[in-house]
Amino acid sequence: MVQKPRSTSPAIGKPLKCSFFSRNVLEVAPDLIGATLLVNGVGGVIVEVEAYHHTEPAAHSYRGPTPRNMVMFGPAGFTYIYRSYGIHWCMNFVCEKEGSAAAVLIRALQPTHGIPAMRRRRGLHDERSLCSGPGKLCEALGISIAHNALPLDAPPIALYRRTEAIDVVTGVRIGITKAAALPWRYGLKGSKFVSKPFRTADS
DNA sequence: CTCTTGATCTTCT
DNA sequence: GAAGATCAAGAGC
């Protein structure tokens, strides 16, 4: 059950440490739901993510390192930014350990901090559309390739643990054709800020 | 509401 | 040359 999409600022927990990401990517991904992501003080609550791992063919790291995906093969706790369809930027958090080439794609935020700045960057959009997709949230937060390979526990990035118990829903990942059946998409149950609805029994 | 299309970077065939 | 971890705008229902 979700409140009105006004500027309700949920409580913010303690900063996440880099060790948070040194676990199996399928554990980290659902744990990120409800956390707060800020870049230069602008951002919101993570409501949708997807997990990727080099052992499955949908991952950029599946075919080994390239200039683009090199940071995925490095240690956990860093950003991996890539260009999508030649136009957009998308943001990942690298997980597990060096060589795992595992990462969590951040797909949607509920905006809570710096909403006027997000509107300026995105143009005239209702709050629900500001960060409801991986390319949208990067535009709203001013993220580009300049933010690639940055540590997740130091400026300009800030990540805060969630404070309340939440319900996480799962589904198949969006926009892929390989390994399309893996249920590696995670979302905040009932959130109106996700990129596409989660289709589960109760919705 | 759904469907189609253009934008044009990185990698692979 | 083609596909892809996307998005917005326009056409049609």
CA A109 / C1′ C13 distance in Å? 32
Does residue A85 form part of some domain? Answer: yes
Does residue A88 form part of some domain? Answer: yes
Does residue A31 form part of some domain? Answer: yes
Residue nearest to nucleotide B12 (CA to C1'): A63
Does residue A10 form part of some domain? Answer: no
**Cα torsion angle, A124, A148, A79, A182, sign:** positive
Nucleotides of B under 7 A from a protein CB: 7-12
Does residue A47 form part of some domain? Answer: yes
Does residue A197 form part of some domain? Answer: no
Tokens of A14: 């303690």
Which residues have Cβ atoms closer than 7 angstroms to strand B? A 63-64, 66-69, 83, 85-87
Q: What is the CATH number of the domain that holds A125?
A: 3.10.300.10
- pLDDT attached to residue A147: 98
CA A195 / C1′ C6 distance in Å? 11
The pTM of the full predicted model, rounded to 2 decimals, is 0.93
CA A159 / C1′ C13 distance in Å? 45
- pLDDT attached to residue A13: 86
User: In sequence order, what DSSP letters do the residues of A172-185 get, joined into one string?
Assistant: PPSS--TTTT---E
- pLDDT attached to residue A96: 98
Q: What is the pLDDT along chain A (203 residues), one digit of tens a residue?
A: 444 444 445 568 899 998 999 999 999 999 999 999 999 999 999 999 999 999 999 999 999 999 999 999 999 999 999 999 999 999 999 999 999 999 999 999 999 999 999 999 999 789 999 999 999 999 999 999 999 999 999 999 999 999 999 999 999 999 999 999 999 999 999 999 999 999 755 54
Does residue A194 form part of some domain? Answer: no
- pLDDT attached to residue A178: 95
Domains in chain A, number: 1
Instruction: Give the separation between CA A157 and CA A174, rounded to whole angstroms.
Output: 26
Does residue A12 form part of some domain? Answer: no
Which domain, by its residues, includes A102?
A: 18-188
